[in-house]
Amino acid sequence: MPLASPWYNAVSIPALLRHARSTYGRAMREALDGAGYGDIPKNGLYVIGGLATEAREAPLARIIADLGLSKQASGQLVDTLVERGYLERRVDLEDRRRLIVTLTERGRDAALVQTSARLHVDRQLEARVGQRGVVTLRKVLAALIGLGKDTHQPDTGPTPTPRMKTAIPILFVRDVTRAAAFFADELGFETRFLHGDPPFYGAVSRDGACLHLRFVGQPNFPELAAREPSLILVTIEVSDVRGLHAEYAARGVNIARDLLEHAWGGTDFHVRDPDGNEISFVQYRRVETPRGTRA
């Protein structure tokens, strides 16, 4: 007697995708409702989740394009999120024709709840199909997305040369929550997001500098730092290194290496985080070219 075909073979792929998406949506909605964020409108989860993964502020025009909605509908969605305290919106000082949207504290809190619910579904899925199954699923979905772009992408002429944007250092830490607290309490950073329960990944930022934090069982950089003096993991350029040094001294921050002017044109000082990662804060100065030589 032939075996019955699995039920999913009789269901179209678009229907499977719709129901699979509803699994995540339902889990996130239930978690948000329970945490007091039940007033997020339809498609609002996409905006809040997308902004939570941004290392920098996001232009409103790109958010609208990513939503795939009309400009009017997208604008109304953003207006609602602003009115309900999830987003703040302002003019981009570098280009006053653009509007910048960022998450408020309420928006960041909702994003953490949403992310935790999504990761819970991820873990349940991996428990059923294994890590290899999840990787295969991602590859299949990526291929399907690429197929759609190949089919509908208009011919706009030569492809422009890709340009690199922001580089984000990733620090290996033994406790993501503790590391984020150190950067916030000691160095004046802001916690952008924490993923997982307990968190295994996170991000902190201050002004234009952003650092990601990744959990590892035992960082090996402290051992290397003992053998290699000034083994810097991150260099952050600042506008006033002496002012920042004075701020950190007033905070009682443990300065690993004090202010030092270098012949190559920089003045820096070092701070070491709880896991031994050494961070250099540097201000570059113009080095005068001796007369009679070419610059």
Question: What residues pair up with 211 in beta bridges, in sequence order?
Answer: 204
Structural domain boundaries in the chain: 7-124, 170-284
Give me the pLDDT at residue 295, please: 42
- Per residue in 186-209, pLDDT tens? 999 999 889 888 889 999 999 889
Q: What is the mean pLDDT of the chain?
A: 83
Are 183 and 211 within 8 A, CB to CB?
A: yes
Q: Which CATH number fits domain 170-284: 3.40.50.10800, 3.10.180.10, 3.40.50.1100, 3.90.550.10?
A: 3.10.180.10
d(CA 10, CA 179): 49
Q: Return the number of other C-beta atoms located less than 10 Å from residue 236's C-beta.
A: 20
Q: What is the pTM of this model?
A: 0.50
Give me the pLDDT at residue 155, please: 57
Is the pLDDT confidence value at 76 over 70?
A: yes
Question: What residues pair up with 214 in beta bridges, in sequence order?
Answer: 172, 201
In this prediction, residue 49 has a pLDDT band, given cuts at 50, 70 and 90, of: confident
Give me the pLDDT at residue 7, please: 82
In this prediction, residue 241 has a pLDDT band, given cuts at 50, 70 and 90, of: very high
- Per residue in 139-153, pLDDT tens? 998 888 888 666 555
Is the pLDDT confidence value at 116 over 80?
A: yes
Are 237 and 284 within 8 A, CB to CB?
A: yes
Q: Are the folds of 7-124 and 170-284 the same?
A: no
Give me the pLDDT at residue 92, please: 61
CATH number assigned to the domain covering 7-124: 1.10.10.10
Are 242 and 259 within 8 A, CB to CB?
A: yes
Angle of CA points 68, 73, 75, to nearest 5°:
100
**146-165: average pLDDT:** 65
Listed ranges 73-82, 148-157, 219-228; the one with the highest mean pLDDT: 73-82
Is the pLDDT confidence value at 184 over 90?
A: yes
- Distance between the two ends of the chain, CA-based, in angstroms? 86
